[in-house]
Amino acid sequence: MADMGNTFDKLKGDAKGKAGEATGDSRLEAEGKSQSAAAGVKDAAQNAGDSLKGAADGVKNAVKGD
């Protein structure tokens, strides 16, 4: 599940990127895009971890006979 902090960071990054684009500030635009991308990567990593935990729990329950 997406972390609220990651979602907030992605939204902030998107806003920075758009503000930089609108004002012609390429540094702000790049910073925003970078922040948004980093939040997306963190979300993907957390989702992968959640999936692995779910799979491990499923195997554990199958072995226990639940």
**Domain positions in the chain:** 4-60
Cα–Cα distance between 42 and 11 in angstroms, integer?
A: 14
Per-residue pLDDT at 66: 59
Whether pTM > 0.75 for this model: the answer is no
Kindly state the tokens that stand for 56.
């491990």
How would you write the pLDDT of the chain (66 residues) with one tens digit per residue? Answer: 567 888 899 999 999 999 999 999 999 999 999 999 999 899 888 888 888 887 777 777 777 775
7-28 burial code (b ≥16 CB/10 A, e <16): eebbeebeebbeebeeeeeeeb
